[in-house]
Structure 1
């Protein structure tokens, strides 16, 4: 049976982390959970330690500072690959990604290298978003798809499954983005590495506890980076399948 690691990055998610870990454990009991905390001042890291102390399938990885979502995931990928996991899953701590949909995504990963939980394919949907947030997200995906020539519909979503094979084939040393644009960067690397990428519909739910880290400035920075990639021809560059993966050293 494939060993699965559900990665949950956190920063000031004390009000959400226990609930989301519990729901993950109920939805995929065989999977392990890794909470990656960026030294949250609200005590999220200590709560993650408490959860790990009572459940051998829950682990906590503490980072010294807040340095971006992408950096947290890259370190978590290194942690998981070094411990022999076959599938590594990205999942937000705020409840926007429903753990109850994990079995569907993991089933798709049995025949695909990368699985995207997609809001913008038939059957996908978003709940409790104002029209401008919906427009911003869809617009960002369309802009990135066109400029980078990506065939996928939801290129900015963060609910994803990567096989260990996929992560090793991708040249992660070339992932330049550590913030919001990280998701686009990772997808671009997967496609250029010739990996099979499929989208499965998900329901995305706006958080009800805590505050969103998203801002107009973050989105603007991501779109500026995508524009540079498109204009400099990075969209035409294929990542060599033989290139070994370079990841941060697991701690």
Structure 2
């Protein structure tokens, strides 16, 4: 039996790009449901989805009154999915940067049960980025190198926003405690998943620079990620050191 799957798409002024994205998703994965979490887009994105959902039972919309960030939009989508018994919950961008044809391989691993979090990765063998400016390329690559150096998560693309969570991961994590945004939200969720003992897998995807709309990246998002990663890394490294010392002490006491 195919797992009940929901694709969550946060939107803010994505009226032009979203119809293309939805068409591609339903063409490649007609069995999935889609929830658009709209933060009160002035361009009428939420109202357009509402209208389309009247004739397509696979499409749903969650209206939020104000723009409160990517992280909170996804958390709202996760909670909506858990209330409706979805087995797999995916993150996906509205702007065309995530290719619908890549969703199949992400879901194949998620549905196999071999991983609890499956990340569509730009930085594993076979992954690629198309049409990014050098500055954006260096920012993303450098951010992931920094995350691995500081936190040691063993994930090559911890900032990726193309991913699939199993229901049991989202049920186990304290979603109400997640306050991060942007890059940092993805790192935060990866960190929590690894710390909780769940298995993470990465599959290669092709990431395409958006053709419509504007990027939501900002200096505050980058600063938040840099600062919080440093704090999480310190906590994680201290715990790892304590675990090593505890194992050494246990071996000595046993001899």
Common topology (TM > 0.5): yes
The aligned counterpart of 2:181 is 178
Residue aligning to 1:241: none
Shift of 1:40: 0.5
The answer for the alignment partner of 1:108 in structure 2 is: 109
Alignment of 1:211-230 (within 5 A): 211-230=214-233
Between the aligned partners of 1:205 and 1:76, the Cα distance in structure 2 is: 24
- In terms of fraction of residues, the more helix-rich structure is 2
The alignment partner of 1:54 has SS state of coil
Question: Could you say which residue in structure 2 is the equivalent of 1:126?
Answer: 129
- Check whether the contact 2:88–2:164 (CA below 8 A) recurs between aligned residues: yes
Task: Report how far residue 192 of structure 1 moved.
Answer: 0.4
Instruction: Give the TM-score taking structure 2 as reference length.
Output: 0.89
* 1:204 has 2:207 as partner: yes
Measure how far apart 1:237 and its partner are.
5.6
Bigger-Rg structure (1/2): 2
Q: In the alignment, is the contact (CA less than 8 A) between 1:126 and 1:203 conserved in 2?
A: yes
Gaps of 5+ in 2: 241-255
Match of 2:249?
none
Q: Supply the RMSD in Å over aligned alpha carbons.
A: 1.4
Distance 1:62 1:237, change over 3 A: farther
Normalised by the length of structure 1, the TM-score is: 0.91
Cα distance in structure 2, aligned partners of 1:126 and 1:186: 23
Match of 1:71 in 2: 72
Per-residue deviation, residues 202-243 of structure 1 (Å, max 9, x unmatched): 000000011111123321221122123223x145569xxxxx
- After TM superposition, which residue ranges in structure 1, 4 or more long, deviate above 6 angstroms? none
Q: State which of 156, 159, 166 in structure 1 corresponds to 2:159.
A: 156
Shift of 1:36: 0.6
- Flag structure 1 segments of 5+ consecutive residues without an equivalent: 239-251
CA–CA distance in 1 between the matches of 2:100 and 2:23?
9
Size of the aligned set, in residue pairs, is 237
Q: Any idea what SS the aligned residue of 1:207 has? A: coil
